[in-house]
A = this chain, B = another copy of it.
């Protein structure tokens, strides 16, 4: 039995799975959990692999620690989406940060808590979870109230569609402090460069610095994926705080050298991005 994903009818990827543990139709999407021998349990939303136990740490560490180790003094972090709890857990490793998390789908949280309890840090008193619409949340949030916003969303279809447009990022920019930054799931150079460029362009309408950085994710098609960092002031490779980056306990992927290396672009990507790359 295979969990297979076909991207745009040209690239197919499959993980061997042994058993489907649960399938739920929530108000927003279909959520499935599979068990596999090689990859541990696998979370699938609307047919797309979201994470598996074996490599979730790469995505979650890279989304959280890169901006946190770039920002001088991050105190308040907002996570949009991220209902599996993994990004929040990584942010919460930094003891002086308060996290607001806004996940639209209560069922994603419930299933993650039940099937992937070790990925989250749900009982942490510095985590404030809201079940609600992230788009509405950023509209209503106070200006200049966050240091970092992390957009941990699915692809731009279904409930996440409104997280990829200009209006959403106008509010993200507004609710960030003068030295704030955003990191968003930025798709893949290889599998979908046009969509990657679109997100770069939207974030670039607001932020002074806009740079993609790479990570691996073996349950995503093409296995190489990007985050996009938008920053009002700090530069992710010039301003990295080495001391903070290398003193985080328990990390399996991230370190200060990985942080810097992840921003390096191959020639063909530099050419494709052109002026969309703002550094």
Interface residues of A (CB under 8 A from B): 2, 4, 9-16, 36-39, 55, 58, 190, 216, 218, 222-224, 251-255, 257-258, 260-262, 264-268
Hey, which chain B residues are within 8 Å of A260, CB to CB? 261, 264
Closest to A17 in B: B10
Are B13 and A12 interface neighbours, CB within 8 A? yes
Are B268 and A258 interface neighbours, CB within 8 A? no
Hey, which chain B residues are within 8 Å of A58, CB to CB? 266
Hey, which chain B residues are within 8 Å of A2, CB to CB? 12
- Alpha-carbon distance A235/B28, docked complex (angstroms): 53
- Alpha-carbon distance A13/B266, docked complex (angstroms): 24
Q: Which of A2, A15, A252, A264 has the most CB of B within 10 A?
A: A264
Hey, which chain B residues are within 8 Å of A261, CB to CB? 260-262, 264
Closest to A271 in B: B252
A264's partner among B37, B251, B257 (CB-CB below 8 A) is B257
- Alpha-carbon distance A216/B214, docked complex (angstroms): 12
